[in-house]
């Protein structure tokens, strides 16, 4: 059986994702599609609209065979670490290929750029440092360095090109025997906030249109499969909300207000004295977006600041980041009957434990952080949902489709 | 002018407090009554029903001349440290006497017991240790030690006798030139939870009857001055609540769930491995009272556990406790015109700075903790109250009556 990996967040699963999934099957001839998916918090430092379980359900309904969790320690991270964790996990399940969506759509461009990067890493890094000295953000410094290397025509201002390049770099750097492949995204740029296609729209634009409420579900219905719509409805009916940063702000504010600066400095990503700024600006901030706007500088991208806020909220420390550099387990969130057959087939040979009961992970530092993140995610629920959601994290067996 | 000090929490101010205030004036011939009052969190590890400002107003309306704050670092502590901070502050304002309410009512009993304690401290401490070895709580071990010393007829199962003894011990131990005096409490034991007198009831019974809602204010009206009633009404109208532990539980739970055990161990009072128990029992606890009941043991009194919870909520660490052993400032919360005259009279000679603007205290470790406690107290408000209440903490000038 040929397994092909995809790296996803599905926040929420939409027609663009479906297109990517079906093209992946068609182009690779995969017998089994394995998705490694961020948990309750996402790469850009945001809570997922709905839980990992609901998003697993969307994925399985749409035809993914196996969903495994990309742990918090890799998910809420820069493209490099996100990619490294994801590719390692897909390789551990013996995926022969990975297939990612990108704005560029030509895999040779990614491979060439990754090779150049590895050959000229020092030069690239010194260009990045030079640009950072000028006070710009890391993504801009990175794009600037590539421009100066004059070695790629990849547009690195496009977020999916950046992620794609990170996957290919991880594969080459770690010499992982996995073939990368890319599919050109259609119609919508990742960050597009308006609808410009009759059935495809970015997850960002869908979340924006949804406005955290069921009332707007019909607006986004043309852009999502019926199963996503049902799952969203069901989630809202059960929990009374879609998750967004503003709901977590009381906890973030509480934590920043009551933490010492020295404690904030221990949090992953809190560097260069940003803790002063956080402590200073939080006092009068009434909302998350007001807070973000007040701490924003040329040097810090919105995403980087959101990740810092997420790490504070979930108490992810520098020390923990150090202890969690490589995946130590494969956590199964869900599978189809086809996926189950695949796992039966490979499970004796897996290099990492395949985990269906997280109680076995008590002492694993990666899972320690997952637990904290799960609780932070649940903290906004009234009882009994808060306690139940937490039990779900511990007790939910992998979903079956 | 003769100043006399009283040590209060006024949670809320009631007729028993009024009786104590008026008897104090009568018995001491004081020209000026100075109350040192706990701030937003109280000795037994609870949030105050209403803010320090509202309680200051109650005190001034009832005839107190000067209200100063007993900082968190002394207020939310054992009787010894509470007493030591309070007596030191009253002395710093040149009180000639202090007058406390007690179940016993005979000052000689307190002085004799305090002397015995100082003379036989080692013997007392070793009796306490022996009793603790048997696994009982500190208050029981202390009472047991006194019984074995056979040196007092003070009933040390009564909380106001215990506090009174701590005041007198602090005076003798620190050789503070202040005369202690006591007034026998009438009608109600501190912990009484029912009404047994037509106009006097304990603060505990009043809070219980109030049930956190304005609807029950009439029930307690016979037991409180009209000015207390007005202030409570006004507070509820403005903020929509009276404060109680349950409202803070989401934040406490969030913090315990996301903190590492090593972090909890740094919190004041978290000793003997109680952090394991806290982490374990918090997971399924839906309410504060369920949580408290689940962590309660013979060794830990309810009060001690509540203090631990308050220290976790406000992030008061062992390190900070060490740095805050003696008052460093006198914070004025309010004064009458008579109180103002008194302060005019003494202010040049004060051994500690008299603070009316807390912005001057930025780097004071005692005030650092006060700020964290103030924010924790405000964390449960929706905006804009949350931010406004915080501004009040920084910007409110002393109240004038």
The more confident residue out of B46 and B299 is B46
Query: Looking at residues B304-313, what average pLDDT do you find?
Result: 97
Residue with tokens 């009512």: B105
Q: Is the peptide bond before A165 cis (omega within 30 degrees of 0)?
A: no
Q: Are A192 and A204 in contact (CB under 8 A)?
A: yes
Minimal CA separation from A77 to chain B, in Å: 19
Contact A258 B376 (CB under 8 A): yes
Instruction: Give the contacts of B387 (CB within 8 A, at least 6 positions apart).
Output: A283, A284, A285, A286
Q: Which one of A259, A315, A379 has the shortest CB-CB distance to B315?
A: A259
The per-residue pLDDT for B135 is 83
Question: How confident is the model at residue A187, as a pLDDT?
Answer: 65
Contacting residues of A for B313, CB less than 8 Å apart:
258
Report residue B58: phi and psi, to 5°.
Answer: -60, -45
Q: Which CATH architecture has domain A3-103+158-194+326-400?
A: 3-Layer(aba) Sandwich (3.40)
> Which residue of chain A comes nearest to B249, CA vs CA?
A379
Q: Is A251 in the B-facing interface, judged by CB distances under 8 Å?
A: yes
Residue A320's closest chain B neighbor by CA? B260
Residue among B251, B257, B284 minimizing CB distance to A254: B251
Question: Which chain B residue's Cα is nearest to A282?
Answer: B387
Least confident span in A189-203, B114-128, B133-147 = A189-203
Q: What would the mean pLDDT of B168-173 be, rounded to a whole number?
A: 96
* Chain A residues within 8 A of B379 when measuring between CB atoms: 250, 253-254, 257
> Pick from A292, A246, A285, A306: which is nearest to B375 by CA?
A285
Q: Is residue B151 predicted with pLDDT exceeding 80?
A: no
CA distance A300 to chain B (A): 26
pLDDT (0 to 100) of residue B187: 65
Cα(B43)–Cα(B79) distance, integer angstroms:
8
**Mean pLDDT across chain B:** 93
- Mean pLDDT over B201-205 rounds to 90
Distance to chain A for B106, nearest Cα, Å: 43
Contact B45, B76 (CB under 8 A): yes
pLDDT of residue B86: 98
Bridge partners (DSSP) listed for residue B276: none
Chain B interface mutation, best of A41, A247, A252, A257, highest count of B Cβ atoms under 10 Å: A257
Using DSSP's 3-state secondary structure scheme, residue A366 falls into helix
pLDDT tens digits, one per residue of B235-278? 999 999 999 999 999 999 999 999 999 999 999 999 989 999 99
Rounded to 5°, angle at Cα B312 from B309 and B313? 85
Task: For chain A, say whether B302 makes contact (Cβ under 8 Å).
Answer: no
Residue A363's contacts (CB-CB under 8 Å, 6 or more residues apart) are none
Beta bridge partners of B35: B6, B67
Interchain CB contacts (distance < 8 Å): A and B = 66
Residue with tokens 């509540």: B306
Region B143-168: what's the mean pLDDT?
87
Interface test mutation site (partner B, options A246, A247, A249, A250, max chain B beta carbons within 10 A): A250
Q: Given this model, what pLDDT does residue B192 score? A: 56
Q: Does A246 touch chain B (CB under 8 A)?
A: no
Render each residue's pLDDT in chain A as its tens digit; 401 residues: 899 999 999 999 999 999 999 999 999 999 999 999 999 999 999 999 999 999 999 999 999 999 999 999 999 999 999 999 999 999 999 999 999 999 999 999 999 999 998 898 888 889 888 888 888 888 888 888 888 887 778 888 888 999 999 999 999 999 999 999 999 987 655 455 567 788 888 899 999 999 888 889 999 999 999 999 999 999 999 999 999 999 999 999 999 999 999 999 999 999 989 999 999 999 999 999 999 999 998 888 999 999 999 999 999 999 999 999 999 999 999 999 999 999 999 999 999 999 998 888 988 999 999 999 999 999 999 999 999 888 888 888 899 98
Q: What are the residue ranges spanned by the domains of chain A?
A: 3-103+158-194+326-400, 245-322
**Digit-coded pLDDT (tens) for B56-107:** 999 999 999 999 999 999 999 999 999 999 999 999 999 999 999 999 999 9
**Residue-level pLDDT at B285:** 95
Query: Could you tell me if B174 and B1 are in contact, meaning their C-beta atoms sit under 8 angstroms apart?
Result: no
The confidence score (pLDDT) of residue A193 equals: 58
Instruction: Please check whether residue A106 is in contact with residue A97, taking contact to mean a CB–CB distance below 8 angstroms.
Output: no
Q: Which residues of A touch B255 (CB under 8 A)?
A: 255
SS3 of residue A152 by DSSP: coil
Predicted confidence band at B190 (pLDDT cuts at 50, 70, 90)? very low
- Provide the CATH topology of domain B3-103+158-193+325-400: Rossmann fold (3.40.50)
Which tokens sit at B234? 């006004």
* Distance (Å) from the alpha carbon of A206 to chain B's nearest alpha carbon: 28
B41, B72, B250, best to mutate vs chain A, most A CBs in 10 Å = B250
Alpha carbon of A290: minimum distance to chain B alpha carbons (Å):
13
């Amino acid at each position: 059986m040929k397994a092909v990996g995809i790296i996803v967040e599905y926040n929420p699963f939409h027609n663009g994702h479906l297109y990517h999934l079906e093209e992946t099957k068609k182009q690779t001839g995969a017998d089994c599609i394995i998705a490694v998916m961020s948990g309750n918090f996402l790469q850009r430092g945001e809570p997922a609209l709905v839980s990992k379980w609901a998003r697993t359900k969307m994925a399985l309904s749409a035809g993914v065979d196996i969903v495994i969790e990309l742990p918090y320690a890799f998910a809420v991270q820069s493209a490099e670490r996100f990619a490294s964790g994801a590719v390692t996990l897909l390789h551990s399940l013996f995926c022969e290929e990975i297939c990612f969506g990108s704005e560029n759509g030509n895999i040779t461009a990614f491979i060439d750029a990754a090779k150049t990067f590895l050959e000229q890493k020092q030069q690239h890094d010194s260009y990045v440092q030079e640009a950072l000295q000028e006070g710009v953000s890391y993504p801009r410094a990175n794009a600037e360095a590539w421009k100066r290397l004059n070695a790629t025509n990849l547009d690195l201002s496009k977020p999916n090109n950046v992620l794609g390049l990170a996957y290919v770099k991880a594969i080459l750097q770690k010499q992982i025997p996995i073939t990368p492949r890319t599919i050109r995204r259609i119609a919508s740029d990742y960050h597009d906030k308006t609808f410009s296609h009759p059935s495809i729209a970015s997850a960002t634009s869908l979340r924006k249109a949804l406005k955290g409420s069921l009332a707007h579900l019909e607006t986004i219905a043309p852009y999502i499969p019926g199963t996503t719509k049902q799952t969203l409805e069901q989630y809202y009916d059960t929990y009374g909300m879609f998750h967004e940063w503003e709901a977590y702000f009381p906890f973030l504010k509480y934590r920043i207000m009551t933490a010492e600066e020295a404690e904030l400095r221990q949090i992953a990503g809190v560097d260069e004295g940003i803790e002063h700024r956080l402590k200073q600006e939080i006092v009068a901030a009434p909302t998350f977006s007001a807070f973000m706007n007040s701490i924003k500088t040329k040097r810090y991208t919105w995403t980087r600041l959101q990740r810092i806020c997420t790490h504070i909220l979930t108490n992810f420390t520098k020390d923990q980041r150090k202890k969690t550099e490589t995946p130590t387990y494969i956590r199964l969130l869900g599978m189809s009957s086809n996926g189950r057959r695949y796992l039966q087939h490979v499970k004796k040979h897996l290099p990492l434990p395949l985990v269906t009961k997280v109680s076995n992970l008590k002492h694993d530092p990666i899972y320690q952080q997952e637990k904290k993140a799960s609780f932070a995610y649940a903290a906004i629920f009234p009882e009994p949902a808060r306690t139940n959601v937490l039990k779900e994290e511990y007790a939910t067996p992998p979903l079956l489709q």
